[in-house]
Structures are given as C-alpha cells and as structure tokens.
Chain A
Amino acid sequence: MNILSLFVIIPLIMMAIIFCIKGENKSLIRVVMSVGGLALLAVSAYLTINYLKLRSGGDDSEFLFTNTPLMWFESLNIHYAVGVDGISVAMLLLSSIIVITGVFVSYAIEDKVKEYFLWFLMLSIGVFGFFISLDLFTMFLFYEVALIPMYLLIGLWGSGKKEYSAMKLTLMLMGGSAFLMVGILGIYYNSTPDGALRTFNIQEISQNVAALANSGADMSWQNIFFPLTFIGFGVLGAMFPFHTWSPDGHASAPTAVSMLHAGVLMKLGGYGCFRVAMYLMPQAASELSWIFIILTGISVVYGAFSACVQTDLKYINAYSSVSHCGLVLFALLMMNKAAMTGAILQMVSHGLMTALFFALIGMIYGRTHTRDIREMGGLMKVMPVLCVCYVIAGLASLGLPGLSGFVAEMTIFVGAFQHPDLFHRIFVILGCSSIVITAVYILRVVGKILFGPMQDPHHETLTDAVWYEKVAVFSLIFAIAAIGLCPLWLSDMISEGIENIVKIF
C-alpha cells in the first residue's frame, strides 16, 4: 500500500475506534487520539527521511511516492491520485506536528469529548488528504471535508459569539470555494487540447497547458479563471480584503481548533494558490500578479497595523496571522525560486508559531478567564513556564534569529528583492516595514500581560502549566528552534520542489 494513503487511513481507523467506544470514556478516547497522532507524526517523519534519501539517491521525478491512480468517477475522469514533492512533505510534517500538539491541548476539553474528536479527525483527514492529492477534484473534495467540521467545532465548543463567528467563517470560506469550483471547472474544460480526454490530474494539466502555450493557442481563459482560483484560495489564506472571518473565527474557536485552523488550514490557502492557481495557469499568473501583489502587500502592513490596537489576545494574533499569511502569498507572487522557498518556509514557520501562540493564549484564557490585555498583567510571576514560552513565541513571531520566523522572513525578503522589476522591489521594502510593526504589537502584549505589576489580585493564585500542556508547548518550541537553528535541510528540500514549478514561469 502507498505510504501516503496512511495519512488518510490512520485518522479513519481512529474515527472508527472512537465511534465504537461506548459512552463518555474520556481517558480511553484521549489515549486513542494520542497514539494515533503519534503514529501520524511517525509516518510523516519516516516519509521525510525516505524522501530525503530518495532525493539524495538521485531520484529527480517531480513527485515521489505516487500511486497508480485509482479511478473513482469514470465519466469525468476523476482519480484518487497521490504523490508528494518537497513542499508537500514539509506541509505534511507541519500538519502532523500541529495535529499531535492539538490533541494534547484538547485534553482540556471536557464536554462531548467523543464528538469533538470525531470532528477533529475529520478536519485532519481533509487537511492531510489535500496535501497528498494530485488530482484536482480529489483535492477539492478534501478541501471541503476540512472546512465543514470547522462550523461544528466552533459552533459547539467555542466561546463568545460562537454561532455568529462559526456562521461567518463557514459562509465566507464556502463563498471562496464557490469561486474555486468555477476556477477548477474552468481549468478542467480549457486545459486539454481539442478532442483529447479531459483530466483532473495536476501533472497532466500542467503539461497540457505548457504544450498549449507552446503551440500558440489562446490562453486568455486563464485571465478569467486565475483570479477566481486565486481569490478562492486567498479567502482561506486570509488575503485582504477577504480576511475578516479570521479575527472573529479565531476568537471564538476552541484552542486546538484555532491552532489547527491557523496552523494548517490557512496553509491550505497558500498551498492551493501555489499548486493550483499559479502552477496550472502560469501565463495568467505572470500577467496578473501585480494586482495580487498590491492586495497581499496591503495585507502585510494592514494586518500588522490593525494588530497594534487590538485588546483581545486572539484578535491580535489573528491580525498578526493576516500579516504573516499575507507575506506568504506576497512571496509566492514574486515568482522566483528564493522567494517562493521563503513563502513555503514562512507557511511552516507561521504554522508552528501561530499554533504555539493560540495554544498559549488558550491556556492563559483557561486560567484567567479573560483575553482582554487590559485586565491582565504581571503573569510572569505566577506562571513562569507559560510566560517564558509566550515570550519565545513572540520573539519567533517578530523574527528573532535562531527561531524559524527569521529564516522564513529573510529568505522572502532577500529572495523577493532579487526580482528585476523595480515595482516588486519597492513592495518588498514596504513589506520590510512589517518587521518593525510586528515588534511593536508583540512587545506591547508581552509588556502588558506578562511583565509589569499584577493587574488582578485573583490572578495571584493561578497555577502554571500541567504536563500535557507542557508537552504540547515544548514540542512546538522545539520544532521552531530546530528549524531556526538548522534551516538548511528544510529549505533545500523545499527549494528543490520549487525548482520544478518556477521553471514554467
């Protein structure tokens, strides 16, 4: 059996086991989840090692670990086809780290544990399936599978105005996928030469498009479907002005769901923009990129400025995600190898550190019962472990060398600045200004809630992290520091995947 299918099968088996567990046997469910999550992590680590081995062994086909495509809907020629390149391996590794830490963080959930984890697993299936698929339709299918559980997870286990937020998030993302559907169908119907069998396979489409472009066929269809696809994924990637689901959604979601959502699900957007929109419609991508460079450039600065005056911890982090994810799309649109490598690195890095942030915010909120930074202060004294971790997360977010954020941002800035066009370079300089604003809002929070005198006497008695929280937080920090200290293997793995794609522009 193909190793990649394990990413879908393991969660399915876990779902089946949890479904069969009678009643509310919480500890058993948690054990199953942890074991399964660790298995996923092990599979992705094994995959990474084998991938690197194969590559260093000289295997240079575009996708590795491919299966023989399995037909599941013949009249439209839809297959279940899987395969990975360096980028997907990085994303799978990221996802499995976030899933396992998310499981540990979810130990705090006490209500309807079984249902919670069932939906949680469904979300994971969607995420993993999306990253391994090579068939456009299957990919879209998994995309939808990942989106729907969000509604219930926020609506049932969330806090605050959860119904409103869940509805808003789902509707906006569904609106995005409506665009996406049109885009995908547009690609499907236009990418094959006349008379040939139409296909959803990404690799074949890409070859067909290249052949069509070489034969001088009319490629103007791309100008319609590229923006649709890009916006469709851009909604999930929190691109300005389609980002407003993110603050509300994150604020209401339970901790682990915020982590998974900001850490992985938002990466689906970036990954899709790149794998579907840009890879399959390179001509339009080069032609129209300037529009999206402006939009994402705005996201970067705008998100950072908005974060400066928020008072809710989760809002701050959500706006910071808007800024950081904007940087991902921004770098992708620079369309050179270095910048795109940086973009993928930024996805991994942002995934890890935003998950860390949300985990910590969840833990702090669970203790203080407030997320308003004006009501907190001096927490460092009562919960040193959590607070030191928060400082580390903050430093990672503002790009401290030695942590992953720096590697990603610098690769983006230096890479993007190699663009020969002055317009692009000016936008890079604008983007650079975000590192200062990031410092402002991160330090504002750190100074306000962790340092300084105690705001609320009730906080004197709060306790520090318990074991499962420590496991989750420390493993995320470990991953962040590991990437930050030795980035070479990851960046080489990614850039070798980028190479195949960047040559088509």
Chain B
Amino acid sequence: MEFLNLAPLVLALPFAMFLIIGLFGYKMCPKFAGILGTSVFALTSIVCYGIAIQYFVANYGMEYPKEVLFNFDWLHITENLVISIGFLLDPISATMLIVISTVSLMVHIYSLGYMHGEDGFQRYYAVLSLFSFAMLGLVVATNIFQMYIFWELVGVSSFLLISFYFKKPSAVRAAKKAFIVTRFADMFFLIGILIISYYTQTFDFGILTEVIDGQVPIVHETMGGITLGGLSVISIAVFLIFLGGAGKSAMFPFHIWLPDAMEGPTPASALIHAATMVVAGVYLVARLFPVYSFEAPEVLEVIAYIGAFTSIFSAIIACAQTDIKRVLAFSTISQIAYMMVALGVSGFGGEEGLGYTASMWHLFTHAMFKALLFMGAGAIIHAVHSNEMDAMGNLRKKLPITHATFLIACLAIAGIPPFSGFFSKDEIIVAAFEANKWVFAVEYIVAGLTAFYMFRLYFRIFWFGEPDNGFEHEPHEAPSTMTIPLIVLAAITVITGICWAFGILQFSQFVSSDSLGYAIETHWSIALLSIMAGLIGICVAYFLYFKKTGRPNTVVSYIKRPYLWAYNRFYIDEIYLFITNNIIFKRICEPIAWFDRHIIDGFMNLLAWFTNSASEGTKEVQDGNVQSYAWVYIMGVIVITLVSILNYL
C-alpha cells in the first residue's frame, strides 16, 4: 500500500473530526464522541507511521530528498508570493509526524480515562482534534506562511485547552497570558517573514533552504550585503523569526506563559505544553537551519547563548517549585532550551552537524518521556486530587504502574544509560563541547540540576513518607485507559535508548543537517562526565528527599534568599505584570482613551458648543416683538433717508 498517496488524510481526518465533534458533539453521548475522536486519530496515526516508515525505508542510506506530496494554492498575494497549503516530507517532518501521532494518540486514549465525567468532554475532544490537525499541518508546511497559519492555529487551540476549566479565573488568566505572550512573539515572526519575503520573493521552504556550494543562494543573492543600522538584514530577519520560535518554545524572556499553562487539563499539557507545540520553535529553526548556518551564523551563536541561559535559569527555578506540574513545566523549558542550544552550536553537514541531529533526537526522546512524566503526574493528581507535593508521598505501593513508568522517565531525563534521554542529551553536550566551552559548562551543570530536581520530584512523590494530614481518601491506581499509554511511552523510551546503545537504527542515519545519514560514535569520556553529573544530582536528591527528615529545610535556611528568588521564579512574572498593568494599561491605553474622549471628541463637542452659543447669542435679535422690529425698521428708514438727503445735498 502506498501511504504517500494518503497524505491528504493526515490533515483531513483530524480537521473533519474537529468539525464533526465541534458541531454535533453536544448531541452525542460523551463516551461516543471520545471514542470516535480516538479511533479516527488512530487511523491518522497509522497513515503518519506509514508515510514516515515508507519514506525512511525507500531512501535509507541515500540523501533524503525533500518530497512535496501535494501543494495547492490557497491565496495569491502577488504573482510571486503565493500562500499554498501542502505536505512537505523530509527527515525532520517525518520524525515529527511520528512524534505527534504517537503522543497525540496516547493523549487521546489517556484522556478517555482522565477526562471521564468532565463537563465539556466533547469540547475537549474537538479541540484536541483541532490541535492535532494544526500541529500536523505545521510540521508538514511547504512554505513559511503555511507554517505561520498553523502556528497561529496551534496557539489558539492551546488557548482553548488551557481555558478548558473556564470557570476558574486562574485558568482564564493563564490562557490569556499564554495567547498574548506567544502572539507578541508571533508578531516578530510575521515581521521576519515579511522581510524575508520582500527580498527573496518566495515563501517556499524548498527554495529558501536550498544549499549550493556552502551558501543559500536565494537568500545570499537577494539579501546579502544589505544592512540596516549596521546589522545585516538577513540577521535581523532570521533573528525575528527566531523570536517567534522563542515565544512558542518558551525561551527567556517569553517563558512566563508555560508554567501558568499548566492550569489546563493534564493530558493537554502533556500533548501541547510538553511534547509537541512547545518544540515548534525548535522545529522552525531546524527547518530554516541552512539559512541560519550559512547566512547568519552570529544569530545561531545568540540562539546558543539564549538557550544556555534559559536552560540554567529554568532548571534553578524547577528546583524550588512545589507544584509537580510546574516542576515539569520548568523542566520542559529547560529541555527545550537544550534543543535550542544544540541547534545554536551546530555546524552544517556530517559530523559538524552533530548538534542538529542531537537537537532533533532530543526533541524525539524528550517528547516521549516528558509526555510520560506529565501523564504520570496526571495519574498521581487523579489519585490524590492535588498538584502540591505536600499532599503526596509514599505512593509507590499504591500506584505501582505509575511508579515504574515515572521512574523510567526520570532516569531518562536525568541522563542515565541505557534510557533514551541519556544518548540524546549526551550528544548535545558533546556538540556544545566542540563548539563553545562556556555553553558546554552551563549545559553540564544543567544536566546535574535536571537529575536533582527530577529525583527530588520522584522521591518526594513516591517515597519520603505520607503527608502530614494523610490522604483525603485512599489513592488508587488509574484505570487501564490511563496506564496503557504510560506503559507504551515507557517502552518507547527504553527501546529507543537500547537501539541506540547497540548501534541499531541510529537516529543520525535518518536525520542530519545535510540529509545524508552518518554514524555517531558515543564519546565516552564526555558521556561518563555527564553520567557523573546525573548521579551526583540523584544522590543529592536521595540524601534530601528519600526519607522524611528536616534536611530540606536546613538546606533552605542556608540559602534562604536565593531559594525565595527561585521559588518566586525570579519575579519575572511580576515584572511582566508591572509592565502590562502599570505601563501599557495605565501609561498608554488609559491616556489614549482619555485623550480620545476629552481632546479629540472634546474638540468636536467644542465645535458644536460654539455653533450653539453663537446662535444663542444672536437669537435675541429675533425676539418676535413687532414693536422692536418696527423700531429697527423706522430707525433704518430714517438713517437711509438722512444719508440720501445728505448725499443729495
């Protein structure tokens, strides 16, 4: 069966589900809507797998081509600038197809159990379908504008899912924040697109990223040498595009929306805010990687620094959070920053492009184990009805499956072999080591911190000791719809790691910066170092949180101030709040509104008042009293007579 011909289904099926469940869902029984959505998405996943596998099998060992499966014009803007909707298949989009369909399918299944009995169950599935549609459309975009279109759509489905519990003010606030912050970043993305399209007169990725002789001809020829205020236009444009990606991928300083986004239902967080949507920024940079690499290497360097800073910044914050979903959220930010760093330090072609491969590989593995972590957290929250660590402890016997899978995911993210996270993270650290020692040092520390905060979470939830007030009611393991996805994802995490370890189906054979497969040797000297960092982190966590002791508090009392800063997320949210409330609203919007009502409109009212009072002033003359008219008349006659007489004389 030729799966490539079925490509339109990948977009059509989820969209159709969105329409059907969205329009008629309220008439369906919730369970039916959920199962319908899930089974149709399962079909979509099969098609996605089929496409990806056929693509990789057909081209294994050769240069992977960029195949456009279909492409139709959606809107003509000018003769050259045409927005089309199409399907571009290349190694990274095929990888993303696998990631999205796997995680999304797992989330569809998981939600059947987790969301059971919620108000708006159908609405949830409709939006989930919309999100899957948008995310699939984003990764297969043939042109940068198609990407922008779906970019906005994933943003809006994220908004709708965060505000799922719309009666909760905090959820509404979080949804607004997420949408507006990412929208702000999208504006830069749009401006970047405008600049690029102005010079190159094309949106098409195939043309924009074509590499010939170590340069990207279309960009080089049309934009090379043009500067604006001392900066090259290419750098400005691609940096603006990166800012768009930074918004979606929650890079500093746009990271503030992601932790709050945890107000949404947990499976949605797993899908959108951990595995797929938040890596869109990484994907965007990877998509345009040749442009960055050849035409704007200085921007890549900036990306590496921003990534490094974000990763350590959010790792520190993650160590001090007590809400388990927030810990995971900050960990997500930190891990995505890892991917950004990998792109930032990467070169182009073969071993040089190790960072690129590592970034995509980490994207893949992270999606699996982070979705697993979130779903595990969902199962825990489901069991104890709270997000706070204080309500948990000693759950390992009560939630055995959750415990086992959670542990696997923690080991993976902490970088312990043979789990998948170890290999991907290790390659990133190797790439950083070869390119930039400072970035390497930061990433190395972050690896230790990651292990620490993840195991802090793990020990705190599953060991430590029962909460002081006991549980509200006895925690019990989640239903099988929830545990099966956990097991599947855990299996993927283990299997992909083992595959890599034994050198079978190495990821670098599939994804590389120049589309040519190559083999990676594990650099054990650096790998051992990073395993050590991970182990140290785990040991510290063990020392502090394995049993219920006063140790954590003692440590905190030594570093009281830094702890408070980290706990309060370095007050970045407060700064944002200050800027929006006190500067934008109080200093810009309100004065403008006042100006409009009082000055501009006041001027119009002044004109009206002037006309009015002029007529008030003159109307006394026309008082309707015939006697005064006669008086004026007679006087007039007399004056005229006198004047004519004098004239005559």
Chain A residues with CB under 8 Å of chain B are 168, 171-172, 240-241, 243-245, 248, 302, 305-306, 308-310, 337-338, 342, 378, 380-381, 395, 398-402, 406-407, 410-411, 413-415, 417-418, 425, 428-429, 432-433, 435-436, 439-440, 443-444, 447, 450-453, 487-488, 491-492, 495
Contact = CB atoms under 8 A, between A and B. Distances in A.
Contacts of B176: 443-444, 447
B167 A378 contact: yes
A338 B600 contact: no
A310 B593 CA distance: 8
B609 interface: no
B167 A413 contact: no
Contacts of A436: 180, 183-184, 187
Nearest to B81: A414
B561 to A, nearest CB: 35
A443 B179 contact: yes
Contacts of B179: 439, 443
A171 B585 CA distance: 32
B77 A338 contact: yes
Interface string B183-198: 1101100110111011
Interface in B153-205: 153, 156, 159, 163, 166-169, 171-173, 175-176, 179-180, 183-184, 186-187, 190-191, 193-195, 197-198
Given A302-B596, A401-B153, 9 more contacts: A172-B604, A306-B589, A400-B152, A410-B75, A410-B83, A414-B194, A414-B197, A488-B73, A495-B76
B163 A406 contact: no
A337 B81 CA distance: 12
Contact of A418 (B78, B163, B168): B78
A452 B187 contact: no
A444 B584 CA distance: 14
B590 A309 contact: yes
Contacts of B74: 487-488
A453 B590 contact: no
7 contacts: A410-B75, A413-B194, A443-B175, A447-B173, A451-B166, A452-B168, A452-B172
B612 to A, nearest CB: 11
A414 B152 contact: no
B75 A411 contact: yes
A444 B175 CA distance: 11
Contacts of B601: 244, 248
Interface residues of B, number: 51
B75 A487 contact: yes
B534 to A, nearest CB: 41
A432 B244 CA distance: 14
Contacts of B585: 308-309
Contact of B589 (A308, A399, A401, A435): A308
A171 B73 CA distance: 47
Contact of A406 (B149, B187, B191, B197): B149
A395 B187 contact: no
Contacts of B167: 378, 381, 451-453
Interface on chain B toward A: helix, strand, loop, or mixed SS?
helix
B205 to A, nearest CB: 17
A417 B156 contact: no
A439 B604 contact: no
A245 B175 CA distance: 34
Given A433-B187, A436-B180, A451 B589 contact: no
B593 A306 contact: yes
Per CB-CB distance, the 7 closest pairs between chain A and chain B, nearest first, are A451-B166, A244-B601, A401-B149, A308-B589, A451-B172, A417-B194, A309-B589
B556 interface: no
B608 interface: yes
B592 interface: yes
Given A305-B589, A395-B156, A443 B78 contact: no
Given A432-B190, A488-B75, A306 B596 contact: yes
User: Most B CB atoms within 10 A — which of A338, A400, A410?
Assistant: A410
Interface string B567-605: 000000000000000001100111011001000110110
A447 B160 CA distance: 11
A443 B179 CA distance: 9
B87 interface: no
A226 B445 CA distance: 67
Interface of B: 73-78, 81, 83, 145, 149-150, 152-153, 156, 159, 163, 166-169, 171-173, 175-176, 179-180, 183-184, 186-187, 190-191, 193-195, 197-198, 584-585, 588-590, 592-593, 596, 600-601, 603-604, 608
Given A399-B152, A451-B172, A491-B76, A413 B190 contact: yes
Contacts of A425: 198
A439 B180 contact: yes
User: Most A CB atoms within 10 A — which of B150, B159, B166, B169?
Assistant: B166
Contacts of A302: 592, 596
Contacts of B592: 302, 305-306
A412 B159 CA distance: 26
Contacts of B168: 452
A432 B198 contact: no
Nearest to B165: A451
Contacts of A308: 584-585, 589, 593
Nearest to B163: A451
Contacts of A172: 604
A402 B153 contact: yes
A277 B600 CA distance: 25
Nearest to A487: B75
Contacts of B77: 338, 342, 410-411, 414-415
Contacts of B590: 309
A400 B604 CA distance: 36
Contact of A440 (B81, B180, B193, B600): B180
A309 B592 CA distance: 9
Nearest to A400: B156
B596 A309 contact: no
User: Most B CB atoms within 10 A — which of A399, A401, A451?
Assistant: A401
Contacts of B197: 414, 417
Contact of A435 (B159, B171, B183, B195): B183
B78 A452 contact: no
A428 B197 CA distance: 14
A422 B168 CA distance: 47
Contact of A443 (B180, B184, B593): B180
Nearest to A420: B198
Contact of B191 (A306, A415, A432, A451): A432
B78 A338 contact: yes
Contacts of A435: 183, 186-187, 190
B593 A309 contact: yes
A450 B604 contact: no
Contacts of B584: 308
A491 to B, nearest CB: 6
Nearest to B600: A241
A414 B73 CA distance: 16
A495 B76 CA distance: 9
Contacts of B173: 447
Contacts of A338: 77-78, 81
A410 B187 CA distance: 12
B172 to A, nearest CB: 4
Nearest to B590: A309
Contact of B172 (A241, A309, A417, A447): A447
A444 B589 CA distance: 14
Contacts of B175: 443, 447
B187 A432 contact: yes
Contacts of A309: 585, 589-590, 593
